[in-house]
A and B are shown apart, each in its own frame.
Chain A
């Protein structure tokens, strides 16, 4: 018995050392010279491989910065200081980027979602969306199973009262939540000013239908359009849309916001 154990230990160790030696030699002989800049930039990048820049990984992005002069500003996650260093290393100007944040275009909290059926299926938004929106009357409503919360690599979203809540400190604007949402009610928007106003509803249903199924949806009364001379809002397809490029006068929009009958215009 002892012999068997010794034999197995020694033969395995011997084989392992043999292969390790072969690989060690091969590693020396077949070493690939890599641009040291790539490595330096790769260390500065966050390394979360979120894909928001449009490249496969942080390493891939670093390679493209060095080889093709891709704008380092495409990375939305990296901090300004590190971005500065990346620009110095690669010799590229720029790196200016606007932080984008996800806007949830639904305001209905759990008790405001009118049920028409009981849903006992798989507890993900994706599955629920295939099953008649998990028994919620409004087919544009947030399903609240939190696919976006699970998808977020930075833990910036939490489900609260049937709606995902954003922690702006943690959010890097990678946009994964927006692509995950099966309802498509999360949209990414650049936050250029202190306050961002948006219409927190996605319903393209008629006024009557929206009224029936939701108390906090946009009912297309048009008061926001009438009150704003400069076209802060416009009505399309039974829904009011905020024009994000015209929000440099927050006081005026706040007045309109107060007049909205269903209080569907939100600030973030």
Chain B
């Protein structure tokens, strides 16, 4: 039990995928304009991450390993991730058209979010059990959402601040991302691994 909690906290905070591993930077910069859409993308990504972790674990351990097909893991994982993203896209389009519009191209781009492929590969590399993998996926998704929402919150406030001319836009965003990453380093002492 303690192990599971540790994995969750490690994945979401101390080893945050965005701010510690620097995976999934594209949506982190692209969709962090508004808190609302950041939450939307965060939840969508969390769903995909959790489901991807669950399904890839099953496929890896019950299909790929018994048949000696481990070399196919990348292709398989990408198929799984792409399918879930397609599913999420359909679902969001049906349930919330405004969110679908707000996310735009970044919704199908969850497929190419390296944080998700990274998650599945880490999971295999660290020999997690089934339950651990699910928790790991959930934690990583929550961590991604936290990073995105914090960033969006800051950027919403940033509109009112006096940013030097050359740093406006992408420049100040990257500086803030760097500072956030530094701040998250502070959590590093809690858990290792």
Contact = CB atoms under 8 A, between A and B. Distances in A.
Interface of A: 4, 7-8, 11-12, 15-16, 19, 22-23, 26-27, 30-32
A7 B69 contact: yes
A26 B72 contact: no
B102 interface: no
B80 A30 contact: no
A24 B93 CA distance: 16
B59 A30 contact: no
A233 B68 CA distance: 82
A15 B68 contact: no
B112 to A, nearest CB: 17
A30 to B, nearest CB: 4
Q: Is the interface of B mostly helix, strand, loop or mixed?
A: helix
A22 B87 contact: yes
Given A23-B87, A27-B90, A30-B93, A11 B67 contact: yes
A22 B90 CA distance: 12
Contacts of B79: 12, 15-16, 19
B86 interface: yes
Contact of B69 (A8, A23, A31): A8
A30 B94 contact: yes
Contact of B83 (A11, A19, A30, A31): A19
A12 B90 contact: no
Contacts of B94: 30-32
A227 B90 CA distance: 67
Contacts, number: 46
Contact of A15 (B76, B86, B90): B76
A242 B69 CA distance: 74
Nearest to B88: A26
Contacts of B80: 15, 19
A12 B67 contact: no
B182 interface: no
B91 interface: yes
A8 B80 CA distance: 16
A114 B112 CA distance: 50
A30 B97 CA distance: 12
Contacts of A27: 90
B190 interface: no
Interface string B52-81: 000000010001100111001001100110
Contacts of B67: 4, 7-8, 11
Interface string B98-138: 00000000000000000000000000000000000000000
Contacts of A26: 86-87, 90-91
5 contacts: A15-B76, A23-B90, A26-B86, A30-B91, A32-B97
Contacts of A16: 79
B69 A32 contact: no
Nearest to B84: A19
A23 B84 CA distance: 9
Given A19-B83, A23-B86, A11 B69 contact: yes
Given A4-B68, A19-B83, A23-B90, 17 more contacts: A4-B67, A4-B69, A8-B67, A11-B63, A11-B64, A11-B72, A12-B72, A16-B79, A22-B83, A22-B87, A23-B86, A23-B87, A26-B90, A27-B90, A30-B90, A30-B93, A32-B94
A12 B75 contact: yes
Nearest to B72: A8
A52 B94 CA distance: 30
A8 B59 CA distance: 13
A23 B83 contact: yes
A32 B76 CA distance: 29
Contacts of A19: 79-80, 83
Contacts of B83: 19, 22-23
Among all A-B residue pairs, the 10 with the closest Cβ atoms = A19-B83, A7-B67, A30-B94, A30-B90, A8-B69, A26-B87, A11-B63, A32-B93, A23-B86, A26-B90
